[in-house]
């Protein structure tokens, strides 16, 4: 059975990385050929964590997601490379074995996307577990498998700030390969700060509009959306929370009443 090379992109995520590496090495050691860390100048103890688990560590300074992925796959010694975030872990004892059996039996598959929601599951079933709209439903670099043979023909775009996985999926399909959905899953665990969420939204939305050739809303529309969200939607959300807390209050009083009556009998 072929083993898998794992490539993890990391920057200052030592605590998440520790959890991911512990699970990978304790549960899947027989399935893994190597774990490669592409570290973007971390200033925490990420490197120490990676060294403790015997990872191969490479530093990247001029970081983009596509450039980090290309570096990692280039260093990989297996033909099958699992791209993984520091805050993502595979689920299931047969995750790797089922994946390898699947891709070795289907050499025309360039990449595998794993099911991680009911909507993705429904879409996969409807499309016989083949991705039909790669710009929308292509690979998720947080956890996906790459066939290195296909990658040698089609490298990831190193200029994009986001959506490098979806853009690669488009070019892979245009080159005659397939992107497959697979009935395996993963946990994605991270608690992002508000500034991180804003940065992620900015980069993701920017590349989405570029790749889809869509027109971004006008300044007036953006201002109107802000007013609507900041005042109207927040007010409705506040009322909804008050209503919920009131219902919860009644439930607590009901429980207290029932317990008091029980203690008297």
* Per-residue H/E/C for 132-180: CCHHHHCCCCCEEEEEHHHHHHCCCCCCCCCCHHHHHHHHHHHCCCEEE
pLDDT recorded at residue 222: 81
pLDDT recorded at residue 5: 98
* Residue 82 contacts residue 95 (beta carbons within 8 Å): no
pTM equals: 0.84
pLDDT recorded at residue 25: 96
Closest CA to 77 of 4, 155, 151: 4
pLDDT recorded at residue 196: 67
pLDDT recorded at residue 218: 86
How far apart CA 141 and CA 232 sit, in angstroms, is 36
pLDDT recorded at residue 265: 66
Cα separation values, 61 from 15, 40, 50, 86, 128, Å: 22, 6, 18, 18, 41
pLDDT recorded at residue 197: 62
Name the residue ranges covered by the structural domains of the chain: 4-196, 217-265
pLDDT recorded at residue 86: 94
Give the 3-state secondary structure of residue 118.
helix
pLDDT recorded at residue 219: 87
Specify the residue for token string 């991680």: 116
Closest CA to 165 of 142, 133, 139: 139
Q: Which long-range contacts (CB under 8 A, 24 or more apart) does 189-196 make?
A: 189/16, 189/19, 189/87, 189/88, 189/89, 190/16, 190/85, 190/87
Phi, psi torsion values for 122, nearest 5 degrees = -60, -45
pLDDT recorded at residue 130: 97
Per-residue pLDDT of the chain (265 residues; tens, 9 = 90+): 689 999 999 999 999 999 999 999 999 999 999 999 999 999 999 999 999 999 999 999 999 999 999 999 999 999 999 999 999 999 999 999 999 999 999 999 999 999 999 999 999 999 999 999 999 999 999 999 999 999 999 999 999 988 999 999 999 999 999 999 999 999 988 777 677 667 767 766 777 777 777 788 888 888 888 888 878 888 888 889 999 999 999 999 999 888 888 877 6
What is the chain's alpha carbon radius of gyration, rounded to the nearest angstrom?
Answer: 23
Tell me which CATH code domain 4-196 carries: 3.90.550.10
Dump pLDDT digits (tens) for 195-214. Answer: 766 776 776 677 777 777 77
pLDDT recorded at residue 43: 95
For 193, other C-beta atoms within 10 Å of its C-beta total 8
Helix-helix angle 194-212:164-174, to 10 degrees: 30
pLDDT recorded at residue 250: 92
How far apart CA 200 and CA 193 sit, in angstroms, is 10
């Amino acid at each position: 059975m072929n083993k898998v090379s794992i490539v993890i992109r990391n920057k200052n995520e030592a605590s998440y990385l520790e959890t991911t590496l512990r699970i990978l090495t304790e549960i899947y050691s027989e399935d893994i050929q190597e774990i490669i860390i592409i570290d973007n100048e971390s200033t925490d103890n990420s490197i120490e964590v990676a060294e403790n688990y015997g990872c191969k560590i490479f530093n990247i300074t001029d970081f983009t997601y596509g450039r980090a992925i290309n570096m990692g796959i280039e260093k990989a010694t297996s033909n099958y490379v699992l791209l993984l975030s520091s805050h993502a872990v595979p689920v299931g004892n047969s995750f790797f074995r089922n994946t390898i059996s699947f891709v070795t039996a289907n050499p025309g598959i360039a990449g595998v996307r794993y099911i991680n929601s009911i909507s993705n599951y429904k879409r996969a079933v409807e499309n016989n577990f083949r991705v039909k709209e790669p710009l929308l439903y292509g690979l998720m670099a947080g956890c996906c498998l790459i066939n290195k043979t296909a990658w040698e023909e089609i490298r990831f775009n190193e200029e994009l700030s986001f959506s490098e996985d979806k853009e690669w999926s488009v070019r892979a399909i245009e080159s005659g390969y397939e992107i497959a959905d697979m009935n395996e899953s993963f946990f994605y665990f991270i608690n992002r700060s508000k500034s991180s969420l804003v940065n992620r939204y900015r980069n993701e939305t920017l590349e989405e509009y570029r790749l889809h050739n869509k027109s971004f809303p006008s300044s007036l529309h953006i201002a109107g959306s802000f007013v609507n969200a900041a005042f109207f939607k927040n007010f409705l959300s506040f009322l909804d929370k008050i209503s919920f807390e009131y219902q919860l209050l009644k439930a607590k009083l009901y429980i207290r009443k029932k317990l008091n009556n029980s203690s008297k009998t």
